[in-house]
Amino acid sequence: MSAPIISLEGLTSTTSFDQLLATAKSGGCASSTCGLSGKPDDIDGAVWEKIKDHPCFSEEAHHYFARMHVAVAPACNVQCNYCNRKYDCANESRPGVVSEKLTPDQALRKVIAVANEVPQLSVLGIAGPGDACYDWKKTKATFERVAREIPDIKLCISTNGLALPDHVAELADMNVDHVTITINMVAPEVGAKIYPWIFYDHRRYVGIEAARILHERQMLGLEMLTARGILTKINSVMIPGVNDEHLIEVNKWVKERGAFLHNVMPLISDPAHGTHFGRTGQRGPNAMEMKTLQDRLEGGAKLMRHCRQCRADAVGLLGEDRGQEFTLDSIPGEVTYDPSRREAYQEVVAHERRDHVAATSEAIGMVKAAGSGKSLLVAVATRGGGRVNEHFGHAKELQVYEASPRGISFVGHRKVEQYCLGGRGENATLDGVIAALEGIDIVLCAKIGNCPEGQLAEAGIRAIDAYGHDYIETAISALYAAEFGVQPLAATA
């Protein structure tokens, strides 16, 4: 495998933008795999075209592409017991943080400002607070304005599904290819524990009747989207003791109705959020409970495991949030879209990801062929681009991969507090990081100091920085080889 033409850090930094442009214009790709499409063999070509730049609908794309959300549709027709609408829609975002509400014109201004600065931007999502289909006029006006100015941006919405069937035809007309429905139950008696009321057809419903109507509308909306070829992701909030076991049934129902992905998210519950579940002490699941349920769901509707439960005004790659750089008062009154950065980025990434796909396939083949029967859980510090390229002390999350006889797969992420600030590591912070790494065998990072390496070792976790800037899968396959005595692959970087 050849070295990358330029690093992904280089792709996005302002100082090397000239280099990025020059590389894109020259078509000067050093990759030995140019000419390959980069499409994995097991994905249909038309589906690949829709998902290849969508960071949520493709795990592979999330290493390269960014989404942004605009909070334009605050009204909601459902009450979820995990939501306090003073904050964000907890179906698609982290509760407890207030978002800036925007008009469609303000949203357009913000999208242009972000597109000019963040070359990875590929998707505009409307994901709360409130419901994008219920507050439809504002959703539609925003999408129409943005599609006129930036025609190649993908439009994406998240909805509770109650008003969805009324707007499927318009979503198809606007070329919205990606919809998320939050479905937490398929049995009204379970739903009644999650939704105290809904507002439908000019009146309020409560209890089992409310949950039954919501369920029927969600299934109808999903079937209508599937019939039109719109890719639908199902988000389910895992609420221990309420719907955790039941999500196995939900997975079956949505698979039968053509859902493209199923994303099981942990309930985030805190008394400070002022939600019903927060006030009544309902807990969320821990990382191992989540993984156990996800493992039980394997073989059903395909799982999304790389969700970051982002805010309703999130901007950037999924593992980062640059929203605070783009508040309305920091954006000029007049902005004009300049496509050059995004175009150059897309061209360079197209080359890079072909190389990455080939490297991944080789690495997975090696792990499968090893025939060791063993598995490893590896937590990786990365800044994007699918490479081991972050220092342990700078990481705010670690991406978790499992290497096993089935190959190498992304199984989740662990959020951690940044351990090293201003060149100094904090012991108390490190204790929290180690606790968050429960169950992990090995940490892979670009660099780690002796002190944290030693403390991780005491907790039974090995930290390795020998594969800095390699592709993640290639590094893991080499580790697997070293661990279980098979022939390692050559490094890529």
Q: Pick the closer one to ligand SF4 by CB: 17 or 197.
A: 197
Q: Pick the closer one to ligand CLF by CB: 7 or 294.
A: 294
Q: How is 218-229 classified by DSSP, letter by letter?
A: HHHHHHHHHHTT
219 binds, among ligand CLF, ligand SF4, none (CB under 5 to 8 A by kind): none
Q: Pick the closer one to ligand SF4 by CB: 78 or 264.
A: 78
160 binds, among ligand CLF, ligand SF4, none (CB under 5 to 8 A by kind): ligand SF4
Q: Pick the closer one to ligand CLF by CB: 99 or 263.
A: 263
Interacting residues toward ligand SF4 by CB under 6 A = 76, 78-80, 83, 85, 89-91, 128-131, 160
Would you call 288 exposed, middle or buried from its count of C-beta atoms within 10 A (0-12, 13-18, 19+)? Answer: exposed
Residues from 181 through 220 that contact ligand CLF (CB under 6 A): none
For residues 20 and 345, the answer to whether their CB atoms sit within 8 Å is yes
Which of residues 1, 171, 310, 443 is near ligand CLF by CB under 6 A? 310
Residues from 65 through 84 that contact ligand CLF (CB under 6 A): 67, 69
Which of residues 29, 56, 242, 250 is near ligand CLF by CB under 6 A? 56
191 binds, among ligand SF4, ligand CLF, none (CB under 5 to 8 A by kind): none
Q: How is 373-394 classified by DSSP, letter by letter?
A: ---EEEEE---STTB--SBGGG
310 binds, among ligand SF4, ligand CLF, none (CB under 5 to 8 A by kind): ligand CLF
Q: Pick the closer one to ligand CLF by CB: 1 or 231.
A: 231
Instruction: For residue 158, give both structure tokens.
Output: 């998240």
Cα(332)–Cα(354) distance, rounded to whole angstroms? 38
Side chain identity, residue 408: I
Which of residues 318, 349, 434, 476 is near ligand CLF by CB under 6 A? 318
Stretch that binds ligand CLF, among 270-278, 304-312, 362-370, 469-477 (CB under 6 A): 304-312
For residues 381 and 390, the answer to whether their CB atoms sit within 8 Å is yes
Cα(397)–Cα(385) distance, rounded to whole angstroms? 15
Residue 325 Cβ vs ligand CLF, minimum distance, rounded to whole Å: 18
The residue with tokens 């719109």 is 230
Which of residues 12, 122, 142, 180 is near ligand CLF by CB under 6 A? 180
Residues from 133 through 162 that contact ligand CLF (CB under 6 A): 156, 158
Residue 469 Cβ vs ligand CLF, minimum distance, rounded to whole Å: 25
Q: Pick the closer one to ligand SF4 by CB: 128 or 393.
A: 128
Cα(159)–Cα(164) distance, rounded to whole angstroms? 7
Cα(64)–Cα(231) distance, rounded to whole angstroms? 20
Instruction: For residue 233, give both structure tokens.
Output: 């992701």
Residue 311 Cβ vs ligand CLF, minimum distance, rounded to whole Å: 8
Q: Pick the closer one to ligand CLF by CB: 305 or 469.
A: 305
Which of residues 50, 140, 308, 414 is near ligand CLF by CB under 6 A? 308
In 3D, which of 346, 488, 350 has the Cα closest to residue 33?
350
C-alpha distances in angstroms, 282 versus 82, 269, 356? 9, 7, 42
Report the 10 Å Cβ neighbour count for 113: 19
Cα(306)–Cα(155) distance, rounded to whole angstroms? 20
188 prior amide bond cis, ω within 30: no
Which of residues 309, 399, 474, 492 is near ligand CLF by CB under 6 A? 309
Q: Which residues neighbour 61 within 8 Å (Cβ) at sequence distance 6 or greater?
A: 51, 52, 53, 54, 55, 122
Residue 268 Cβ vs ligand CLF, minimum distance, rounded to whole Å: 11
Cα(50)–Cα(52) distance, rounded to whole angstroms? 6
Q: Which residues bind ligand CLF (CB under 6 A)?
A: 56, 67, 69, 92, 123, 125, 127, 156, 158, 178, 180, 233, 263, 307-310, 318
